[in-house]
A and B are shown apart, each in its own frame.
Chain A
Amino acid sequence: MDRNAAHRVKRGLFKATHLTLLFLAMAIICLPGLWIVLSSLRPTVEIMAKPPVWIPREISFDAYIAMFSGVGQGGIPVIEYFRNSLIISVTSTVIALAVGMAGGYAFARHRFRFKSSIFLGFMLTRTVPGIALSLPLFFVYAKLGIIDTHFGLILAYVALNVPFTIWLIDGFFRQVPKDLAEAAQIDGCTRWQAFWQVEFPLARPGIASAGIFAFLISWNEFALASQLTRSTSSKTLPVGLLDYTAEFTIDWRGMCALAVVMIIPALTLTFIVQKHLVSGLTSGAVKG
């Protein structure tokens, strides 16, 4: 075998290994999701079976039907939970993005005193685990009377997300050359117009990804929501999962079905926003 052929074989082997490893990694990442979907469709006996049953013997949508059949017939107020989740997540994401854009722009473009300390301070707030905050937050909210309200959770999630959105959006605004905003001002824009006409479109991928992250954090958050909500008027979907636990039993199938209902909107949103995440849009702006 000559050296060229040897190299060809080696390259082929390398590619095969590469693909196998990628497949394994993806399988590990996707398996829990798949397991949830499968578990929502199979009888409890199969869910609890040891060793696990990989291919379900029968598939039924009973859990989904039960979920929507109303209280007393094995159902939970899933529509209300969904509505609460949507209101809280969307509102807190919009606010976190607005604050994040203003803050990120300020950090990227302006010089002010204690800039790096303030930035570091924002980041440090993220090092505190949410669960550690739940008790103090509970006391404060109880005093303010905003427990079990949309407003209370929105406030908590905005506080949780703002440091993150500022950090992410700051990075994207830094990539937009300052010259562009100046050129826009010379071309007749006000600062405000220059921002919306030039800098915002160019930082859009960053703003979109910050938006997705903020939404997902709010959508999936459990620790704070479980403390700060009480009734169907404010409980979110993750808290709703607890409705499937009784004193001595856990309805795994129902819980998995609700989890699937939770995953679908998040997945849809990510697909929609994904096309905005085109990077490298600023190439060609400056120099050659």
Chain B
Amino acid sequence: MATVSLHSLVKRYGNIPVVHGIDLEVADREFIALVGPSGCGKSTTLRMIAGLEDISGGEIRIGGNLVNDLPPRSRNISMVFQSYALYPHMTVAENMGFSLKIAGKPQTEIAARVAEAAKTLDLEALLHRRPSQLSGGQRQRVAMGRAIVRNPEVFLFDEPLSNLDAKLRTQMRIEIKKLHAKVNSTVIYVTHDQVEAMTLADRIVIMRDGHIEQVGTPEDVFRRPATRFVAGFIGSPPMNLQEATVEDGKLVFAGGATLPLPRQFHDKVEAGRKVVFGLRPDDLYPTGHGIHSGEQAEVHEVEKAVTLTEPLGNETLVFTEFAGHEWISRMLNPKLLKPGEKVKLSFDLSQAHLFDAGTGMSLRA
């Protein structure tokens, strides 16, 4: 097992930089998820760690050793590909034992280790099949089996669940979590699905345009987003974000609507400052239908007409217009609402976020 550290890691394609000098320390046995929108450099970063992509600058250390110029085979890593990348001309057992065969291990050891991994992943009945005779979920498990047979120091996952249907994805997510608990190794997991990142990872790295926006626990990035981008990226439905100007104890939105300046920001922002106000749908709820955040709750009520509802069974997302912008609120214990119906919305301002309108940085600190 091993730590992974990235120092000022840079990747350029020709003159076009795609990863701009990122720094990251991954602790031994930690499960780290790299998330971000398409093209943010997360897969490139993973491929650089794997050695499949040359690095243009900086350094990568695995277990303290500099591996910048080592080929993938010398880095003691395993990788699960988005496409699974199973060898179609080999059986499941041959696929899983391939790395050991290349390493020149004796046949008996290969068979034993493949059998052990197959048992862990419930693949015993499939060992003599070819990849083309397997379902998507089974292929995924074989790909993981191939990775664990090597007993590597670091596991790399490149969007491993994105080709599965929603139900299977949930199931495999649980299996990956169990697998990590069992093999207890360092994992770097790339995904664009924030639910995967939130549920699996010890810490989440949110990337955008080749930069790291924030590194933190799922709780951190959800409760204390460092930037406006993180606030909008993490959480589903996304945080309500609206530009406003601070004016003596008030937030004035375009069109003249106002909200009181949340108490926790009173001494942090001066009048006249342009900010972005953010509030999660969970903290904006039809009065009487949400859960109050506790005694410190600072609730401001506004009456608005419903424009649209999305009933989800255990909750309903309620869309209303406020300050020229559509706001999403979450109604727990839902009751039936019709478009046009007036509801009293509670803004829990103690949970509100403010970001600088220019830099997008959180003003909470």
Contacts and interface: CB of A to CB of B under 8 A. Distances in A.
B84 interface: yes
B111 interface: no
A144 to B, nearest CB: 44
A184 B83 CA distance: 14
Contact of A286 (B83, B98, B146, B164): B83
B52 A182 contact: yes
Interface in B122-142: 130-136, 139
A136 interface: no
Contacts, number: 89
Report which residue of A179, A187, A190, A287 has the largest number of chain B beta carbons within 10 angstroms of its beta carbon: A187
A225 B135 CA distance: 55
Interface residues of B, number: 33
A193 interface: yes
A285 B131 contact: yes
A26 B163 CA distance: 45
Contacts of B135: 288
A183 B88 contact: no
A233 interface: no
A285 B50 contact: no
Nearest to B147: A186
Interface in A149-198: 177, 179-180, 182-190, 193, 197-198
B147 to A, nearest CB: 9
A185 B134 contact: no
Interface string B29-73: 000000000000000000000111000000000000000000111
Interface stretch (A5-13, A46-54, A95-103, A276-284): A276-284
Contact of A185 (B52, B103, B130): B52
Interface residues of A, number: 25
A193 B136 CA distance: 28
B244 interface: no
A179 B88 contact: no
B93 interface: no
B80 to A, nearest CB: 9
A276 B121 CA distance: 34
Interface of B: 50-52, 71-73, 77-79, 81, 83-89, 98-99, 102-103, 130-136, 139, 146, 150, 163-164
Considering the complex of A and B, which 5 residue pairs feature the smallest CB-CB distances, nearest first?
Answer: A284-B132, A288-B136, A286-B83, A179-B85, A284-B131
Given A186-B78, A281-B89, A287-B163, 9 more contacts: A179-B85, A182-B52, A183-B81, A185-B72, A283-B132, A284-B88, A284-B132, A285-B83, A288-B164
22 contacts: A179-B81, A180-B85, A182-B72, A182-B79, A182-B85, A184-B87, A185-B51, A185-B73, A186-B52, A187-B73, A187-B98, A188-B99, A188-B150, A197-B102, A281-B88, A281-B89, A284-B88, A284-B130, A285-B86, A286-B84, A286-B85, A288-B135
